[in-house]
């Protein structure tokens, strides 16, 4: 199956099957979906040694191709990671089913009652890279939210993904749900992605989980709505009404708890009225942990070993032990900085002044805004969503961490008694 026409036909076949399965899944009851999820988890556990064996094929190829150790890490399945995958699927089974509930039912003057019902989106395409655990995670979230899915993992994980897909099919079969509810794209040809992101008669939404290159390609080429994640240039602003000890603790945690995550602090903003009190202490922590500091002149006056920040630093998502630091006059200048340089992901203020906290919450236009907490909390689990399919930096539909609810929509339901419009 290498010719372009064949791939097109194959992908459209997946699309048609997914659309048909989506109709069945949309009306499946919670018990059937949970039964399938538990059966999938059991099958993953029972197949653990086979999954690890198939994964070895992918690993051998990755080593042959000279991939780096971070890549190999992401790709590797072990008995422990398979168990983790199975547990993740069971956790999704334990979440409340968002589908079918009618809310806000209200009687109108005409006599009709109008409400909203939460319903699945339909068919979700998930395009991801090396981590094979995404296959199980994403399938579980789509299944629980009543959506069919088409999973397109990286070619580097194809043997692992096929083996996981077999476990999922076995679970679906046990619960009497259509096997096409979860389909893994079997070809590694890149043309398959091109088809997937343009067949809008079959795919309702695309969730890319991968690097910026992948998302940039999809933004250029896709005509289907996406739940997508761009940059995470996160700020902590330390107000002059902050508790100094809390300020140091949050600046430390937001930057250093993990360097490579999207909700990590990249730029620290400090009010000039408190800079002399907190910046040397924060710098001491950063210095001890090997965080490179790049500051504006006012910062460098207080932190002599900070390098001079350039204009590019304020835009940078380092994902590394580097922090940009700027001293600002106060709240307004901090919010102006965030509006200009930020990426609308996650921003926090440290202050004991309630009015300023309120202004920051209201006026900073980011998916997650925080008062007196570390930006590292911006995460589906920490926010109580139970699980997350991704974090959205878009403004429409879902903002921030996206859980089951973000994989559903609401339609209007009208209960009438024979009313007609006059």
Residue 181 Cβ, how far from its own copies at the closest point, in Å? 16
H helix intervals, 47-101: 48-64, 69-75, 79-94
Q: Using the rule CB under 8 A, which residue among 208, 295, 400, 403 binds its own copies? A: 400
Asked if 227 and 47 touch (Cβ cutoff 8 Å), the reply is no
Q: Return the range that interacts with its own copies (CB under 8 A); candidates 169-177, 293-301, 318-326, 360-368.
A: 360-368
Return the bridge partners of 116, or none. Answer: 103, 412
**d(C-alpha 318, C-alpha 333), whole Å:** 23
What would the two tokens of residue 356 be? 């300023």
Count how many Cα atoms sit within 13 Å of the Cα of residue 165 in the half-sphere of its side chain.
19
**d(C-alpha 233, C-alpha 345), whole Å:** 7
Q: Return the range that interacts with its own copies (CB under 8 A); candidates 43-51, 167-175, 277-285, 381-389.
A: 381-389
What would the two tokens of residue 329 be? 């006059």
What would the two tokens of residue 311 be? 């204009």
**d(C-alpha 335, C-alpha 351), whole Å:** 14
**What is the 8-class DSSP label of residue 226?**
B
Q: Return the range that interacts with its own copies (CB under 8 A); candidates 155-163, 167-175, 247-255, 284-292.
A: 247-255
Q: Using the rule CB under 8 A, which residue among 5, 49, 253, 403 binds its own copies? A: 253
User: Closer to its own copies at the Cβ: 71 or 377?
Assistant: 377
Of residues 339-358, those binding its own copies (CB under 8 A):
339, 348
User: Closer to its own copies at the Cβ: 186 or 419?
Assistant: 419
Q: Does 230 bind its own copies (CB under 8 A)?
A: no
Burial of 384 (0-12, 13-18, 19+ CB in 10 A): exposed
Residue 32 Cβ, how far from its own copies at the closest point, in Å? 14
Q: Does 208 bind its own copies (CB under 8 A)?
A: no
Of residues 96-115, those binding its own copies (CB under 8 A):
100, 106, 108, 110, 112, 114
Q: Which of 169, 130, 137 is nearest to 404 (CA)?
A: 137
Asked if 238 and 271 touch (Cβ cutoff 8 Å), the reply is yes
Residue 382 Cβ, how far from its own copies at the closest point, in Å? 7
What would the two tokens of residue 393 be? 């930096």
Cβ neighbours of residue 209 under 8 Å, at least 6 residues apart? 126, 127, 128, 129, 134, 138, 390
Residue 153 Cβ, how far from its own copies at the closest point, in Å? 24
Residue 201 Cβ, how far from its own copies at the closest point, in Å? 12
Q: Using the rule CB under 8 A, which residue among 93, 378, 389, 402 binds its own copies? A: 378
Of residues 210-229, those binding its own copies (CB under 8 A):
219, 223, 225
Interaction site with its own copies (CB under 8 A)? 23, 26-27, 100, 106, 108, 110, 112, 114, 117, 119, 121-122, 204-205, 219, 223, 225, 243, 246, 249-250, 252-254, 257, 339, 348, 359, 361-363, 365-374, 376-378, 382-384, 394-397, 399-401, 409-422
């Amino acid at each position: 199956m290498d010719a372009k026409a064949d791939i097109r036909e194959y992908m459209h076949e997946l699309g048609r099957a997914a659309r048909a399965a989506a109709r069945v899944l949309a009306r499946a009851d919670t018990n059937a979906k949970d039964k399938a999820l538990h059966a999938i988890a059991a099958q993953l556990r029972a197949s653990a040694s086979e999954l690890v064996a198939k994964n070895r094929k992918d690993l051998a190829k990755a080593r042959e191709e000279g991939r780096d150790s971070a890549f190999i890490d992401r790709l590797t399945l072990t008995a422990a990671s398979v168990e983790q995958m199975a547990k993740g699927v069971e956790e999704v089974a334990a979440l409340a089913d968002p589908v079918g509930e009618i809310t806000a039912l209200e009687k109108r003057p005409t006599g009709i009652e109008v409400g909203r019902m939460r319903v699945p989106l339909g068919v979700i395409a998930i395009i991801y890279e090396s981590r094979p655990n995404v296959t199980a995670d994403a399938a579980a979230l789509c299944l629980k939210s009543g959506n069919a899915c088409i999973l397109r993992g990286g070619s580097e994980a194809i043997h692992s993904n096929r083996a996981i897909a077999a476990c999922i099919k076995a679970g679906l079969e046990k619960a009497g749900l259509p096997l096409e509810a979860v389909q893994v794209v079997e070809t590694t040809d890149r043309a398959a992605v091109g088809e997937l992101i343009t067949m809008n008669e079959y795919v309702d939404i695309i969730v890319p989980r991968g690097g910026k290159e992948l998302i940039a390609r999809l933004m250029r080429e896709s005509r289907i709505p996406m739940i997508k994640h761009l940059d995470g240039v996160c700020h902590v602003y330390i107000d002059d009404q902050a508790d100094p000890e809390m300020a140091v603790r949050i600046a430390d945690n937001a930057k250093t708890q993990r360097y490579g995550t999207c909700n990590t602090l990249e730029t620290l903003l400090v009010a000039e009225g408190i800079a002399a009190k907190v910046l040397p202490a924060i710098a001491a922590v950063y210095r001890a942990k090997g965080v490179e500091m790049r500051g504006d002149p006012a910062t460098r006056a207080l932190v002599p070993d900070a390098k001079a920040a350039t204009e590019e630093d304020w835009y940078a998502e380092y994902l590394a032990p580097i922090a940009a630091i700027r001293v600002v006059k106060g709240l307004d200048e901090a919010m102006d900085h965030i509006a200009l340089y930020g990426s609308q992901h996650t921003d926090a203020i440290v202050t004991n002044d309630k009015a300023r906290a309120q202004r920051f919450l209201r006026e900073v236009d980011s998916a997650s805004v925080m008062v007196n907490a570390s930006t590292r909390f911006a995460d589906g689990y920490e926010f109580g969503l139970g699980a997350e399919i991704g974090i959205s930096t878009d403004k429409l539909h879902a903002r921030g961490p996206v859980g089951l609810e973000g994989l559903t929509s609401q339609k209007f339901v009208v209960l009438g008694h024979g009313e007609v419009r006059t």
